[in-house]
Amino acid sequence: MIWHIARRELLARTRSPFAWVVAGTWLALQGLMFTLILGVYLRSSREGAEWEEEALPLLSGLIDPLYSAQSLLLLLFMPLLTMNLLASEQRSGTLPLLLSSPIATWEVILGKWLGLTIFVSVLVFLGGALTPITLIVFGSPPLAPMAGAALGLLLLIGVLGALGLLASSLSGSQLVAAVITWTTSMGLWLLAVLEHGEGPLSSLARHGSLLIHVRQFGRGLIDTGDVVWLFSFIGVALLGAWQRLESWRWR
Amino acid sequence: MTAFIARTTGLLGALAAIAVLVSFVLVPELPGLRTLALTAVVGIGGWLYLDWPAISRAAAARGGMEAARAVLLIAVAVGIAVVSVALAERSQQRWDLTPQGSHSVTERTTEVLASLALPPTEVVGFFVHGDDPVASRHRRSWDALAEAFAAAGPTLRVDTIDPDVSVLRAQQAGVSSNGVVIISRSGRSERIYAPDEASLLSAIVRVSQERDRTVYVSSGFGERRLDEVSSESLSELRRELGALGLRVAPLDIARNPLPDDAAAVLVVAPAIPLSAGVVSKLEGFLADGGALFVASEPQKETGLDTLLADGGLGLAPGLVVDPLVRSVTGDASTPMIARYGLHAAVRGLRAPAVFSGARAVVETPHQPTDCTVHRLASTSELAWSELRPSSEPLLFGEGDLPGPLSLLSLSELHPGGRSGGTVILSGDADWLSNRGLENAANRDLAVRVLGSLASQEDLIALPPRERDEGTLAMDWLDQVLVGVLALLFVPGTCLAIALTLWIRRRGR
C-alpha cells in the first residue's frame, strides 16, 4: 500500500506544471552554480600551475563546493515541493476521505514521503548528472567521495521531505506550511554559525545544526553520528506527522 | 486569564523539559541545567495545578486520551532519538572515502596514540575561520587533522579556537598569529605551527616524555650572545623559542661535547672561523641526525664551508641588492623575502621578512646525491647578488647573480639512503637579533624555521600518502559546452515539460 501511495504521489508530481516550473528554476540555479564553481576551480588550477603550487584537490576545490551549493538549493526549494503534501488535502477537504479509507495513517505518511523523496532524488540526480559526467569525461575524479556526497544529498532530501510533511500536516495553508519548513530548516542550518564560538552554545550548535551533520558527506567522510542524527530526525518528523493525521481521526 | 497563564507556564515548562533532556545527553556542561530542570518541574506542575479542571475535561472528552498518548509517544521518540545520537557519537565509526585518507591518520599514528597513557593530552589549535581563502584552506586542513586525531587518540582532547572570536583565550595562551597549535600534558607544553600529521604526532609524543629539549647556541668564536640585553643579542629569540617549549642555552662546543638533549645547534654570526675540532663535532652531530642552523655575517667566514658544501649549500660572493626595497626605503641592501617555499618549515607564511646586508644562499655546482635542498625564502626576480655593492649606480653587471635569490635554504641529509641531519643556512644574522626580530615578519619566520628545525631530530617518520586527488582538464570550448548544457538545456527541458502539461490542461 505504501508503494501504491508513493506511486500516486510521484505521478501527481510529474503531471503538475508547477512542480516542473519549480524543478526548472531549481536546475537553472544549479547549472549556474555548477558553471561558476567549475570556472573558479579551473582558473585557480591554472594560476596555481603558473606559481608551481600543488594542484588544487578536486574534492575540496570542486566536489565539496558543488555539494554545498546543491544542499543550499535543496533548502530553498524543498519547501515549495512539500508545502502541498497534506495542506492541499486539508484545504480541499479530501483528507477525511483519505482517512476514512482502509489505508493506515502511517502508510499514508510513509507513502507520501517516499513519493516525494523519489521525485526530488530523480530530479537532483538526473538533473545534476551533468556534474559527474563532466568530471568523468574531462578528468579522473575520486568516485568514492562522490558516492558519499550523493548519499549525503539523499539523506538531506529525506530530512527536508519529512520536515515538509510535518509542516504540511500542521496547517491547511500551503504558504504557512512552506514558511514553517523554510524557517525551521534554515534555523537548523544557520545554527552552525555558533560552532566557532565558545562554551555550551558552540556545543549545542555542533549537536543540533543540520549543516554540521550533512557537510562531512561532501568531504568524503561518513560518520555514524551524522547518519544516526539524520535518520532520527526523519523518524521523529514522520512520527509527528503521523500523530497529527491520527488526531484528524479523533475529531 | 488563569487558563492562559497556566497554559503559558505549561508551555514554558515543556520547552524547559525538552532543553533539559537534550542538554543532559548532548551538552552536559551547559550552565544552569539545574535551574532549567527546576523551571520545567515548576512550569508543568503549575499548569497541572492551575488548569486541572480543563485537563480532566479534555482527558474525559473524545480523543483526550489519544492526544495525551500522542504527546507521550512523541516525547519518548525524541528521547530515543537523542539517546541514539549520543550513543552513536560516543562509539563513533567513520568511513573515510578519500583516496589518500585525508580524514584518517596512518596506522603508525594510531599505534602511537593508542600507546599513550593517561593523563590526557590537550591539543588546542588556534585557527581563524574567515573569508580569506588561504586561511580558510588552513582551517579546513586543521579541522580534518583534528577530527582524525580525536577519533584515533583515546587520551587526546582536541579543541579548536578561533582567535578572532575568542580573543581572550588567544591572549591568555599568548597566541598572536593564525595556525598555532598548543599541545600540553601534565604541566608540559609545546607549540607548533602549520601542523601536519607527523609534526603533530611528534609534538604529542614529546610532551608525553619526561625529557627536556634544548637548543644550544654556539659560543667562544665571537658569536651573538644570548644573555645580553642589547639590540644585537639573541635574548628575544631565546624568549620566543622558550614559548615553543624549548630551553635555549649557550654552549662552548670547543670545550664541551654536544649534549644528548640537543634538539638543535645554532651558530649565529661567528666573528672568527670555527676551529677544526668544533667543525668535526658538528659533522658528527649531523651524522647522528642532528639539526644545525648557520647564520653568517656577510664579511665573515664561519669555517663551515666544507660541512655546508656536503649538504649542497654555499654562500654567493657579493651582497644581495633589492631595487624593490630601495624604491620604498631608499636602501637596496635590505632584501625583502617575496616568496616562501613549500617546505613544512615555512608552509603558510605569507608576510614578507626583511634581511639586512645578506649574502645569497646558493646550491653548490656539484650537488651531492645524498642530500635534498629546499629553498625556504627567496627574493623577488628584481633582486640580484652584486659583486660591487659600493659602486654607484647599482646596476646588474657581469658576474652578478640574477634573482630570485634564496636567503634561507634547508638541506636534508640522507647519507647512504638513511635519514640524517638537517642544515639550514642563512646569509645574514642580523634578522635574528633583538632589533632584527622587530622588523616586518622576521619574528614569525625565525620562530617557524627554528621551531621546525628543533623538531626535526625526533620527528616521527610516517609513510608518505599517495596524492591521488583526481584531476580535471578542460579548455574554454569544453567549458562553454558544459555551461550551455547546464544553464539552458537541462532547465529548459523541465520548463518545456511544464509548458506542455499546462497547454494540455487548458485544452481539456
> How confident is the model over B403-444, as pLDDT tens digits?
789 999 999 888 777 778 899 999 999 999 989 888 878 888
Q: How confident is the model at residue B342 (pLDDT cuts 50, 70, 90)?
A: confident
**What is the structure's pLDDT at B400?**
83
Q: Which residues from A are below 8 Å from B96, CB to CB?
A: 220-221
- Whether B469 sits inside 8 A of A59 (CB atoms) is yes
Pairing relation of β-strands B214-218 and B247-251?
Answer: parallel
- Whether B473 sits inside 8 A of A16 (CB atoms) is no
Taking alpha carbons only, the member of B165, B175, B121 closest to residue B146 is B121
Q: Which residues from B are below 8 Å from A239, CB to CB?
A: 73-74, 77
Q: Which residues from A are below 8 Å from B29, CB to CB?
A: 199-200, 203
Is the bond preceding B404 in cis, omega lying within 30 degrees of 0? Answer: yes
> Which cell is B146 given?
583534528
**What is the structure's pLDDT at A23?**
86
* CA nearest to B62 within chain A: A250
Q: Which residues from B are below 8 Å from A205, CB to CB?
A: none
Q: How confident is the model at residue B210 (pLDDT cuts 50, 70, 90)?
A: low
- Whether A200 sits inside 8 A of B161 (CB atoms) is no
Q: How confident is the model at residue B211 (pLDDT cuts 50, 70, 90)?
A: low
Exposure of B229 by Cβ count < 10 A (0-12 exposed, 13-18 middle, 19+ buried)? exposed
Best of A18, A25, A27 to mutate (most B CBs within 10 Å, chain B): A27
Q: How many interchain CB pairs under 8 A, A with B?
A: 211
Of A138, A203, A251, the CB nearest to B27: A203
Exposure of B432 by Cβ count < 10 A (0-12 exposed, 13-18 middle, 19+ buried)? buried
pLDDT in tens, B32-60: 777 888 888 899 888 888 888 887 777 77
- Whether B491 sits inside 8 A of A25 (CB atoms) is yes
- Whether B165 sits inside 8 A of A198 (CB atoms) is yes
Taking alpha carbons only, the member of B115, B134, B187, B127 closest to residue B158 is B127
Q: Which residues face B191 on adjacent strands? A: B182
Of B63, B469, B495, the CB nearest to A24: B495
Exposure of A92 by Cβ count < 10 A (0-12 exposed, 13-18 middle, 19+ buried)? exposed
> Which cell is B50 given?
492551575
Pairing relation of β-strands B262-268 and B214-218?
Answer: parallel
* CA nearest to A20 within chain B: B498
Taking alpha carbons only, the member of B402, B413, B337 closest to residue B373 is B413
Looking at chain A, the whole-number percentage of residues with pLDDT higher than 70 is: 94
**What is the structure's pLDDT at A157?**
95
Please give the model's pTM, rounded to 2 decimal places. Answer: 0.69
Q: Which residues from A are below 8 Å from B62, CB to CB?
A: 250
Question: ipTM score here?
Answer: 0.81
Exposure of B277 by Cβ count < 10 A (0-12 exposed, 13-18 middle, 19+ buried)? exposed
Contact (Cβ atoms closer than 8 angstroms) between residue B120 and residue B150: no
* CA nearest to B95 within chain A: A222
* CA nearest to B29 within chain A: A200
Best of B76, B90, B97 to mutate (most A CBs within 10 Å, chain A): B97
Greater confidence, A233 or B506? A233
**What is the structure's pLDDT at A250?**
63
Q: Which residues from A are below 8 Å from B477, CB to CB?
A: none
Report how far residue B251's alpha carbon sits from residue B257's, in angstroms, rounded to the nearest whole number: 9
Q: Where are the beta strands (DSSP E) in A80-232?
A: 139-140, 221-223
Q: Which residues from A are below 8 Å from B97, CB to CB?
A: 142, 144-145, 147-148, 220-222
**What is the structure's pLDDT at B184?**
85
Looking at chain B, the whole-number percentage of residues with pLDDT higher than 90 is: 13
**What is the structure's pLDDT at B267?**
93
**Residue B170, helix vs strand vs coil:** helix
Residue where the block lists cell 581572550: B168
Looking at chain B, the whole-number percentage of residues with pLDDT higher than 70 is: 92
pLDDT in tens, A149-186: 999 999 999 999 999 999 988 887 888 889 999 999 99
| Alpha-carbon distances, residue B489 vs A134, A208, B235, B323 (angstroms) | 15, 39, 68, 55
Best of B169, B375, B469, B502 to mutate (most A CBs within 10 Å, chain A): B469
Per-residue pLDDT averaged across B346-361, rounded?
A: 85
> Which cell is A11 given?
505521478
Kindly compute the dihedral angle of the four CA atoms of residues A146, B468, B448, B290, in this order, to the nearest 10 degrees. 140
Report how far residue B197's alpha carbon sits from residue B452's, in angstroms, rounded to the nearest whole number: 14
* Range in B31-40, B253-262, B336-345 the model is least confident about: B31-40
Looking at CA atoms only, how far is residue B117 from chain A in angstroms?
Answer: 26
Of A198, A203, A243, the CB nearest to B74: A243
Report how far residue A25's alpha carbon sits from residue A64's, in angstroms, rounded to the nearest whole number: 22
| Alpha-carbon distances, residue A141 vs A13, A39, A147, B477 (angstroms) | 34, 17, 11, 20
Residues 6+ positions from B387 with CB-CB distance below 8 Å: B317, B318, B397, B399, B400
Report how far residue B108's alpha carbon sits from residue B111's, in angstroms, rounded to the nearest whole number: 5
* Range in A92-106, B392-406, B435-449, B453-467 the model is least confident about: B453-467
3-state per-residue secondary structure call for B405-423? CEEEEEEEECHHHCCCCEE
Q: Which residues from B are below 8 Å from A234, CB to CB?
A: none
Element (H, E) at B472: strand B471-472
**What is the structure's pLDDT at B30?**
66
Q: How confident is the model at residue B298 (pLDDT cuts 50, 70, 90)?
A: confident
> Which cell is B446 given?
625565525
**What is the structure's pLDDT at B482?**
87
* Most confident of the following: A33-42, A94-103, B80-89, B130-139: A33-42
Best of B23, B78, B91, B98 to mutate (most A CBs within 10 Å, chain A): B98
**What is the structure's pLDDT at B218?**
92
* CA nearest to B498 within chain A: A17
Is residue B67 pLDDT above 60, yes or no? yes
Residues 6+ positions from B502 with CB-CB distance below 8 Å: A17
Q: Which residues from A are below 8 Å from B478, CB to CB?
A: 138
- Whether A246 sits inside 8 A of B492 (CB atoms) is no
pLDDT in tens, B461-482: 666 666 666 778 788 888 888 8
Looking at CA atoms only, how far is residue B445 from chain A in angstroms?
Answer: 20
Per-residue pLDDT averaged across B234-238, rounded?
A: 88
Q: Which residues from B are below 8 Å from A220, CB to CB?
A: 96-98, 102-103
Q: Which residues from B are below 8 Å from A246, CB to CB?
A: 66, 70
- Whether B342 sits inside 8 A of A53 (CB atoms) is yes
- Whether B473 sits inside 8 A of A141 (CB atoms) is no
Report how far residue A131's alpha carbon sits from residue A134's, in angstroms, rounded to the nearest whole number: 5
pLDDT in tens, B178-197: 888 888 887 778 888 878 88
- Whether B472 sits inside 8 A of A139 (CB atoms) is yes
* CA nearest to A230 within chain B: B85
Is residue B219 pLDDT above 70, yes or no? yes
Domain extents for chain A?
2-249
Q: How confident is the model at residue A49 (pLDDT cuts 50, 70, 90)?
A: low
* CA nearest to B23 within chain A: A204
> Which cell is B122 given?
590537550
Q: How confident is the model at residue B270 (pLDDT cuts 50, 70, 90)?
A: very high
Looking at CA atoms only, how far is residue B471 from chain A in angstroms?
Answer: 5
Looking at CA atoms only, how far is residue A182 from chain B in angstroms?
Answer: 21
Q: Which residues from A are below 8 Å from B144, CB to CB?
A: 219
Contact (Cβ atoms closer than 8 angstroms) between residue B220 and residue B265: no
Report how far residue A15's alpha carbon sits from residue A25's, in angstroms, rounded to the nearest whole number: 17
* Range in A91-105, B81-95, B457-471 the model is least confident about: B457-471
- Whether B472 sits inside 8 A of A138 (CB atoms) is yes
**What is the structure's pLDDT at B466?**
62
**What is the structure's pLDDT at A237?**
92
**What is the structure's pLDDT at B161?**
85
Residue where the block lists cell 663551515: B304
What 8-state DSSP symbol labels residue B463?
P
How far from the centroid of its chain's Cα atoms is residue B498's Cα? 52
